[in-house]
Structure 1
């Protein structure tokens, strides 16, 4: 039997153990050989032992049914056992237990083929009452447990909008394990009888438990504090849940405690109906979708349309003789819900007062922000809104040079003076990593020394990057605030919206970090730590400041913005995005300018379908985001394992690990890979707590140089054209596979099959190759795996666009608009006039953004001096798209006369002056 280390999660372990038990019990029923039967009985017993430590945390099949099956096995009732295990496994696989009672006796009638979830139509599934589970935490006897569950069952009513079953565990530790194992749990009832320790001892349980809490903290707890502490601890791992505390303590004792996710306290009573109604109300609060519901209701109203949009109500389609196929393809509802009206129960995105406003407030709660705003034209627009709302002309902004192009254009619109921050290069794979904290601190300290810190407005970083590199957000924010206490942070989390719903990932999100810092900075302990460090750093040099882990001042202002592409990683129609705000100065300083920026960039005719999908997407992640993200990570981990352990795939492919993509000095945990062929899975929690950078496991970067194909060719000609596999990001010798909450194990299996087929084809090709063909293949592989061009850093802005030579900021706006006059520009050929000019020592300045795709970010911006390294990189690029570059004309640059005519070129201040 596979060991626990072969599995990333307990959920996948449970599923596979039940499937293995079904196969073993079926085999016992068929087998006639005594030795084989004995071997199968040993396996069945091992599987029962393995499942015995997991099943107490799930309502189905329940421990009573599980123990009954074990007794059937012990008594040799193999036919009955096989039948029951088959029913359980099928119900777990299809989710049928969520809709109906699953009979496990052979005499019971159950038309499982027609009652499976997979066989139901979407309309039938939508009509079914959603199912969830309630965790009751109380150290009770089996008889008392049956009494508790029967009381829960008696409270059910036909009119209840949901259906739930109860799971009873005895201890605080068991409760933490349960909420991390069981994604069905939506509410927790904490009763006064709970104890601290779990009786279960198992490697995977210990791993989950250590991730959820600190052992030393728990050991020091008094028994009367177990309940309140449990509510607080669950808030750390699954804050979306509801808890209800039943206590015998006085109101005064409870009032001063941090109760985490506790929604209500019940005092020494057994009012099960009141508890039942509160549980349903709590889940209903998350299930509510105000705008989607309003749009559905609007679509049902008889309406006469006397405004724009002939497509509204589908009239222009239904009356047509030529576009009926469009109506047939989309169906009627999408057109019935199409309108430009803001009445009839609907709302305005630009001035929300009704269901859109309420939907945004619910999203704010779900994602941990203070305010959340919807956007219907993507995160590119969200980025421009935030930058324009906060940055004034002349403000200095520190920007990740490798960030999305929308940020660079946002700097132009806002008139910011930009300091570009260089990421560490990954030359071997032709991609950039992320910006080291030391580089950020260095630039801030240089600006401080130059007397410009008051003009520094914002730090803008991508978290996580396209390639999956995630910052230590709390450390970056705290150390930067130690230098500039009111610095604004814009975290581009376009690819990271899902992170909120994973206990491991959540700790590195902008909103969670903002809330943590707001609490911590107010504590006396933090104030004492800060004062002690300030005393130690009184006469410190900049180098000492760079080498010190800085502590933020207690009066620092927490000003954090996160932009997220909901449509990229969660459920939403394309271009559905959100802006999350956690800014202590938003109400007093930013609200009006934010409103104006939002008005500037938001359409007056936003797509209501996108808004509705954002509303529903929020509902989904509050109720099942934990489950879906867990499965997403499982899919990526299984992909890593399958590729890394397959002997044929290892000949041509390599899954890049954290060790490949993050330099050792940025990995304080020492972890190099999340999966090791010898040791199995590595616990990611330590990495995510300690390291400067971590790798998002849901992104699998595959080095393909060993195939002889570059990344773009492998993506287009092989994966897409031949096998229908879609990917987005490539580099010169890598391709990126991104799992999402919709990725299935079948999808992963298909991808592995395709890679194996590609590897076999390469084997056959090389077996039949001539010496010349083999030499050609080896040369291509060497070119992709050994002869790689070094990645250039940002050179500098030309002096014409800089206020002085003290610090590197540049006026990108002036450079951008200077190029509008064609007389200011010229074109130079890469292999001709541009190369000659640089070799002659001339300064050549880019007049436009140059964005090769991939990697998809600017390697040149307007006003940037073109270096020999940048030219060498551009000449080595083997991609089809270079935005801003015209192959027929060359690279657009400023003429020397245009640069000389600028007034700033004559007034440069130097460090010597």
Structure 2
């Protein structure tokens, strides 16, 4: 951060010469000087260049108007105003809170002023740096000799080996020097929550609107288990979203609790629409408790907010309605909702405490904020037993945390604070809206088909769009008013072949074909459904990446219309089985897969799959104990009816369990098995389209095997 922007004053000697002298003095100190052509050019420069560390300008020419405009972009940035003897300093007490410093025009004062600017630059960097990261940077700069772990000793070991040197050169010195031992006392302890780690937790809690926050270094998969182990004593009953992440399903295998499932709705595209409001009512919960053996009134509830496809709940309704002591919102996909007004009322930590309840929120800081993989946070609002919770925390937390991951959690929080943070989220929303409008424009202008987009017809404003009852675009039956909202940065592209009612066209293009085409051109899809593709417009997405995606979609249409050979259009797929694909063209492949999907009546099959759950014969915990004891055998997937599953079965992505350990597929829930077999049949007919079903083993002969209890 050594860039200073100077707005040159009027061409009069008594102003121009002192500024010229100062520019030279700053250059001598190592600053890079840039000269915007005017105030608007400066503001645009600030938008594009976060490394600018200060602005020098003439007070009489620009005054407070420029300061206020800069303050809207970055309220922490130092501003240096030059004044003359006759300048009027009309600065209010409120405006004095800015980092605004005044210097008088004068010759031979540059050395003193440049020294002050260096001091103020250091104060600026100190002010925006969060506490743990600041301490870690300082420790690395000290270059201490350590005789403790890790064994690579700040990267020194790598440089003693030819192959290790390649590793060192790739990751860089500071990355390895920041990989330090928990024995470094001046940084405090992640497990004991002391020193810089404690300051970081308090900093993060203030940023996200929580009362207490915990940093977790093994992803939200671990955060979810920590919360569950604390909030769900053995023998208790837990309400759990059937749309939960597999980590919460694993929690049920680890904890001897009785699950009662809240079942989300689903549309014909396979997009989950959230849990209907009626299931949160006391009467509905009472019915579920009465129908579940060994169940008692739930002590805890787990809700996925948002869904994988970007649907957010009205969280206030859930907090006020659910009659349980604690609620855990698994918000892995939306760590940014506290930082923009369109998410008000949809953020789990928003608002005041909920009387007689503890609210937990887990966030994957790495997913859509700028943190390293595995970075996660637990937020808490309400009264809880801190010591007991910390026991659960330590139970799942390594005694050798990677400090780079920990610092990245704190840095992600620092980046979304204040006006710079809000602008980051705003730009993300704007890019997503622009992309949505471009796809819609191409759809209107194209001859024949083009990709469609899952959204309301009118999307002019930056808002979360309500899933209104009866609105045709979303395809959810019996949607509730003021309950679910679509996040604009989660963009779902629709391919031809099926509409929102589930009506299947005579021809179609399965989304998996488009995903493979994009992947071979360097564009990776987040999630692929039968006729939909999910793309995440996070803060790291810029116009270049968005245009690459748009270009990829356009190129697919052009190649599809030309009916190119598979070997030319999808060479990686062709390599899976050259004999099979040698003479096949893309339209033949698309219609072949589409025909299989039509034959299986996919829309109705998906709706039935998630409408009727398999029968729970024993808790997931009890089923896993049987597996540990070896009381299992292997059968073909097609033979699962009437057998108790030992594993959870989940097609990936999105990784939502359709069968849990201890559950039995009966004739009444046969649709679950038919759905899995339909997914398998596509790969059996078309090499390269095998479905990844966690919990099932695909053998070389194309059969899927699963483990069941003897």
1:93-115 deviation digits (Å, cap 9, x = unpaired): xxxxx98663359xxxx9x9xx9
TM-score under structure 1 length normalisation: 0.58
| Aligned-residue offset at 1:794 | 6.6
Specify the alignment match of 2:661 in structure 1: 862
| CA shift in 2, pair 1:745/1:561, >3 Å | same
| CA shift in 2, pair 1:303/1:655, >3 Å | same
Specify the alignment match of 1:432 in structure 2: 272
| Aligned-residue offset at 1:739 | 0.7
Supply the distance in 2 between the matched residues of 1:423 and 1:273 (Cα, whole angstroms).
Answer: 50
| CA shift in 2, pair 1:302/1:470, >3 Å | closer
Structure 1 unaligned segments of length 5 or more: list them: 1-58, 66-97, 134-145, 154-164, 169-177, 188-268, 519-555, 675-688, 802-810, 896-913
Specify the alignment match of 1:405 in structure 2: 246
1:172-228 deviation digits (Å, cap 9, x = unpaired): xxxxxx99xx544569xxxxxxxxxxxxxxxxxxxxxxxxxxxxxxxxxxxxxxxxx
Structure 1 residues 234-245: aligned runs within 5 Å: none
Specify the alignment match of 1:757 in structure 2: 555
TM-score under structure 2 length normalisation: 0.74
The 8 Å contact of residues 493 and 564 in structure 1, kept in 2 or not, is answered as yes
Residue 416 of structure 1 pairs with residue 317 of structure 2: no
| Aligned-residue offset at 1:564 | 0.4
- The one of 288, 303, 310 aligned to 1:461: 303
Structure 1 residues 172-211: aligned runs within 5 Å: 182-184=72-74
Structure 1 residues 740-751: aligned runs within 5 Å: 740-751=538-549
Structure 1 residues 452-491: aligned runs within 5 Å: 455-480=297-322, 484=323, 486-491=324-329
Specify the alignment match of 1:871 in structure 2: 673
Supply the distance in 2 between the matched residues of 1:750 and 1:409 (Cα, whole angstroms).
Answer: 38
Q: What is the SS of the residue equivalent to 1:719?
A: helix
Specify the alignment match of 2:193 in structure 1: 352
Residue 320 of structure 1 pairs with residue 168 of structure 2: no
| Aligned-residue offset at 1:425 | 1.9
Specify the alignment match of 2:707 in structure 1: 892
Supply the distance in 1 between the matched residues of 2:416 and 2:586 (Cα, whole angstroms).
Answer: 52
| Aligned-residue offset at 1:302 | 3.6
| CA shift in 2, pair 1:286/1:850, >3 Å | farther
| Aligned-residue offset at 1:617 | 1.4
| Aligned-residue offset at 1:412 | 2.2
Q: What is the SS of the residue equivalent to 2:301?
A: strand
Specify the alignment match of 1:881 in structure 2: 692
| Aligned-residue offset at 1:453 | 9.3
Specify the alignment match of 1:630 in structure 2: 426
Specify the alignment match of 2:624 in structure 1: 816
Specify the alignment match of 1:729 in structure 2: 527
Which is richer in helix? 1
Supply the distance in 2 between the matched residues of 1:331 and 1:655 (Cα, whole angstroms).
Answer: 42
The 8 Å contact of residues 431 and 855 in structure 1, kept in 2 or not, is answered as no
Supply the distance in 2 between the matched residues of 1:60 and 1:399 (Cα, whole angstroms).
Answer: 58
- The one of 624, 636, 650 aligned to 1:851: 650
| CA shift in 2, pair 1:784/1:499, >3 Å | farther
Specify the alignment match of 1:370 in structure 2: 211
The 8 Å contact of residues 708 and 784 in structure 1, kept in 2 or not, is answered as no
Q: What is the SS of the residue equivalent to 2:628?
A: coil
- The one of 92, 98, 102 aligned to 2:36: 102
The 8 Å contact of residues 658 and 695 in structure 1, kept in 2 or not, is answered as no
Structure 1 residues 114-193: aligned runs within 5 Å: 126=51, 128-129=52-53, 150=63, 165-167=66-68, 182-184=72-74
RMSD: 4.2
| CA shift in 2, pair 1:470/1:166, >3 Å | same
| CA shift in 2, pair 1:608/1:577, >3 Å | same
Supply the distance in 2 between the matched residues of 1:432 and 1:780 (Cα, whole angstroms).
Answer: 23
The 8 Å contact of residues 182 and 399 in structure 2, kept in 1 or not, is answered as no
The 8 Å contact of residues 614 and 659 in structure 2, kept in 1 or not, is answered as no
Q: What is the SS of the residue equivalent to 2:228?
A: helix
Specify the alignment match of 1:684 in structure 2: none
Supply the distance in 2 between the matched residues of 1:844 and 1:472 (Cα, whole angstroms).
Answer: 39
Supply the distance in 2 between the matched residues of 1:278 and 1:777 (Cα, whole angstroms).
Answer: 63
| CA shift in 2, pair 1:274/1:713, >3 Å | closer
| Aligned-residue offset at 1:741 | 0.3
Specify the alignment match of 1:790 in structure 2: 606
The 8 Å contact of residues 265 and 275 in structure 2, kept in 1 or not, is answered as yes
Residue 343 of structure 1 pairs with residue 184 of structure 2: yes
Specify the alignment match of 1:704 in structure 2: 495
1:824-876 deviation digits (Å, cap 9, x = unpaired): 22333234x44xxx4xxxx3221111121123111111111213111111111
Q: How many residues align structurally? A: 591
- The one of 562, 569, 581 aligned to 2:361: 562
Residue 602 of structure 1 pairs with residue 413 of structure 2: no
Supply the distance in 1 between the matched residues of 2:586 and 2:428 (Cα, whole angstroms).
Answer: 41
| Aligned-residue offset at 1:278 | 10
Q: What is the SS of the residue equivalent to 1:626?
A: helix
| CA shift in 2, pair 1:650/1:338, >3 Å | farther
1:234-272 deviation digits (Å, cap 9, x = unpaired): xxxxxxxxxxxxxxxxxxxxxxxxxxxxxxxxxxx9668
Supply the distance in 2 between the matched residues of 1:322 and 1:820 (Cα, whole angstroms).
Answer: 41
The 8 Å contact of residues 424 and 435 in structure 1, kept in 2 or not, is answered as yes
| CA shift in 2, pair 1:372/1:794, >3 Å | same
| Aligned-residue offset at 1:713 | 3.8
